[in-house]
Amino acid sequence: MASTNQELARIFSEMAAALELTGANPFRAVSNNRVARELRDLTEDVGALVAEDPETAVARLTALPGIGKGSAQKIVEYVQTGGIDEHRKLMAKVPRGLFEVLEIPGIGPKAAKAMWEQLGIESVADLKARLDDPALAALPRMGKKTVENIRRAILFSEKTAARVPLGKALPLAIALRDELAALPGVRRLEYAGSLRRGCETIGDLDFVAACDDPEGVRRRFTEHPSVTQVLAHGDTKCSVRLESEGVAIQADLRLVPEAVYGAALLYFTGSKEHNVRLRERAIKRGLRLNEYGLFRGSEERPQEQGKKPLAAATEEEIYAALDLPWIPPELREDRGELDRPPPRLIEVGDVKAELHAHTTASDGRMSIAELAACARERGFHTVAVTDHSPSQVIANGLSPERLLDHLAAVRAANDEVRDVTILAGSEVDVLPDGRLDYDDELLRRLDLVVASPHAALRQSPAEATARLLKAIAHPRVHVIGHPTGRIVGRREGLAPDMAALFAAAAEHDVALEVNANWLRLDLRDVHVRGALDHGCKIAIDTDAHRPEHFDLLIYGVLTARRGGLEAASCINAWPAEKLHAWLAAKRDA
Ligand code: DGT
Ligand code: CA
Ligand code: CA
Ligand code: ZN
């Protein structure tokens, strides 16, 4: 919960590791780890607790099962002085890099200690350099096979230093899920975790399954062609590393009885913070919630006492027993989702228009007719041609003359088709000072203006705010495209005063885009929430340059769902008449 707790948890974990590496009494390491775990799960902020009254805080902390007087006093010391003396002393004894060595799967404290003391290995880089040294394999409990596993683990961690983007993780997980779900005897099987919540990046994949033949599913999972290493192969949990089409990611599979599938799915979907809220709510009702179900009473592990849960088979019945409606996974982030009825979130099937797409006139690969065919295939009533403006030189942006010709071509193509309306629009650059890249006379001739920032994405927040406010206030602008210009995990983009943008967009009746390309997801989830709180309209567009880009829609929809978007606030989900009337009103104003 509060970051002081997490920071302290990290410090106690570090002390535990350092104690092990220096060969201290093992019980001291164990007890520090227990404190770390307590702190991680604690819902009260220890910072506030200590600030209020240190003595009460010590009493409160020592009442917790894993925290003794000494540890409680260290917690107070940290809050009052910003550090813990013992931690500083321990850290001075152990090289920093050894903690990273400990992170490598398969290397425990004893092994790391031996590498350090006997071979002088102080970092992952040192270890990498010694992988072929027979002295490494000759260390106690090491051996050639372990060294090979370490080598693979190091290579893998280099590949997965970054989290995997949603757009790479989802297709992989869907393929694996569908393959496993088709095995005989599988009753329920779904991906859970951050992926089910639609997060923009994914740490690892989590699957939950209930089946009659667990061994068959376990085998297919651990022997899957994309598996490069099996990390765990137990009765109820298997972990593997997968590599497929340039994606490297860990995947966990949990096998549970069908009767508790809902409880397991709920638990492993998370988020952790949402789960904490649910458990608190259960406790207030004299109940206990864990991955085996919702139980009466307050015992630690009621399932081990042979107790029958009140609810466990489905998520719906667990929420219902907590007097809650089922909450869509995308909202399970402890952002107030328990305190208001969940909205009817937008779905891919609600989207009936693509309002940001490129043709061969600028940097797209589709003709106008091909673009229209893609829209028709998806049952859309409208598609907008929005090629780039002149400033986008590399993207072959259209000069005013070329734009006029292009508009005529789009209108001619529109006259040829019956079932889809092809709108003549433009993706106009918002120049660094907020002016648009075409003059007002030309903009007036367009059915739709998407105004997007592409260059000067490192300007100051104040400049970015002024720039985007100016574009929003322009009377011809319908949509602000990818408002910040960020690229997930690679480019931060603009950092304008978002609340000011939302207020202005609501005032000027300008829609803000969720660009569905998984590299962008811009607006991001929390921005969507902020925009909706201000009464803004949202557009979800794929920014298609090729036919297959229409399939990116799901990522924009997931992001918008995380922000709480309902179909009514999404202009792409409006009926044709409503959308066309809204667009025309700006042009005719
Ligand atoms: P990721 O993998 O980093 O993208 O994020 P998640 O949310 O998938 O996290 P992960 O894979 O560590 O765990 C999956 C879910 O399992 C998580 O969202 C909630 C649940 N979970 C895991 N560990 C804990 C825990 O220590 N406490 C609680 N309450 N829930 C946990
Ligand atoms: Ca995960
Ligand atoms: Ca996991
Ligand atoms: Zn574009």
Segments making up each domain of the chain, as ranges = 3-93, 97-159, 164-255, 260-331, 348-588
Cβ neighbors of 290 (< 8 A, separation 6 or more) are 263, 267, 279, 301, 302, 303
The CATH T-level fold of domain 97-159 is DNA polymerase; domain 1 (1.10.150)
Pairing of strands 287-290, 247-255: unpaired
| Mutation pick for ligand 1 pocket among 206, 241, 254, 332 (CB with most ligand atoms within 8 Å) | 206
Write down the pLDDT at residue 2: 45
CATH number, span 3-93:
1.10.150.110
**227 vs 219: CA distance, rounded Å:** 11
Ligand 1 atom having least distance to the Cα of 194: 8
Q: What spacing in Å lies between the alpha carbon of 75 and ligand 3's midpoint?
A: 29
Write down the pLDDT at residue 424: 98
Looking at every residue in the chain, the average pLDDT score rounds to 94
Q: Which residue has the higher pLDDT, 329 or 6?
A: 329
Write down the pLDDT at residue 1: 40
Q: Report the pocket of ligand 1 as residue ranges, CB < 6 Å.
A: 193-194, 199, 202-204, 206, 267-268, 270-272, 275-276
pLDDT category at 4 given cuts 50, 70, 90 is confident
pLDDT digits (tens, 9 = 90+) for 385-402: 999 999 998 889 999 999
**302 vs 471: CA distance, rounded Å:** 59
Query: Same CATH fold, 97-159 and 3-93?
Result: yes
Q: List, in sequence order, every residue forming a beta bridge with 165; answer none if it has no partner.
A: 201
What's the gap between Cα 174 and its chain centre? 16
Write down the pLDDT at residue 106: 77
Write down the pLDDT at residue 160: 53
**454 vs 449: CA distance, rounded Å:** 15
> Is-contact 383 371, C-beta < 8 A?
yes
pTM value is 0.76
Q: What spacing in Å lies between the alpha carbon of 246 and ligand 1's midpoint?
A: 24
Considering only CA atoms, which residue is closest to atom 9 of ligand 1? 193
pLDDT digits (tens, 9 = 90+) for 306-319: 899 999 999 999 99
Q: List, in sequence order, every residue forming a beta bridge with 205; answer none if it has no partner.
A: 251
Q: What is the DSSP letter of 569?
A: G
**240 vs 229: CA distance, rounded Å:** 6
DSSP notation for 252-321? EEEE--GGGHHHHHHHHH--HHHHHHHHHHHHHTTEEEETTEEEES--S-GGGGTPPPSB-S-HHHHHHH
**47 vs 54: CA distance, rounded Å:** 10
Query: Which ligand has an atom closest to residue 164 CA?
Result: 1
Answer yes or no: CATH 3.20.20.140 is held by domain 348-588: yes
Task: Summarize the confidence of residues 183-188 as an average pLDDT.
Answer: 96
pLDDT digits (tens, 9 = 90+) for 347-387: 999 999 999 999 999 999 999 999 999 999 999 999 999 99
Question: Does 405 have pLDDT greater than 50?
Answer: yes
Task: Summarize the confidence of residues 14-33 as an average pLDDT.
Answer: 92
| Least confidently predicted of 6-15, 307-316, 439-448 | 6-15
Question: Does 20 have pLDDT greater than 50?
Answer: yes
Task: Summarize the confidence of residues 24-30 as an average pLDDT.
Answer: 90
Q: What is the DSSP letter of 203?
A: S
Q: Which CATH number fits domain 260-331: 3.40.640.10, 3.30.210.10, 1.10.3720.10, 3.40.50.12780?
A: 3.30.210.10
**390 vs 525: CA distance, rounded Å:** 31
| Mutation pick for ligand 1 pocket among 43, 272, 327 (CB with most ligand atoms within 8 Å) | 272
Nearest partner of 3 among 48, 55, 35, judged by Cα: 48
Q: What spacing in Å lies between the alpha carbon of 350 and ligand 4's midpoint?
A: 22
Query: Which ligand has an atom closest to residue 173 CA?
Result: 2
**312 vs 264: CA distance, rounded Å:** 8
Sheet holding 421-429, edge to edge: 353-354, 382-388, 421-429, 448-452, 479-480, 511-515, 537-541
pLDDT category at 429 given cuts 50, 70, 90 is very high
Task: Summarize the confidence of residues 565-577 as an average pLDDT.
Answer: 98
Q: List, in sequence order, every residue forming a beta bridge with 448; answer none if it has no partner.
A: 425
User: E strands, 95-146, where?
Assistant: none
> Is-contact 450 481, C-beta < 8 A?
yes
Q: What spacing in Å lies between the alpha carbon of 512 and ligand 3's midpoint?
A: 34
pLDDT digits (tens, 9 = 90+) for 201-236: 999 999 999 999 999 999 999 999 999 999 999 999
Q: What spacing in Å lies between the alpha carbon of 427 and ligand 4's midpoint?
A: 6
Query: Which ligand has an atom closest to residue 1 CA?
Result: 1
pLDDT digits (tens, 9 = 90+) for 514-523: 999 999 999 9
Query: Which ligand has an atom closest to residue 203 CA?
Result: 1
pLDDT digits (tens, 9 = 90+) for 468-496: 999 999 999 999 999 999 988 778 899 99
CATH number, span 164-255:
3.30.460.10
pLDDT digits (tens, 9 = 90+) for 260-298: 999 999 999 999 999 999 999 999 999 999 999 999 998
Considering only CA atoms, which residue is closest to atom 18 of ligand 1? 270
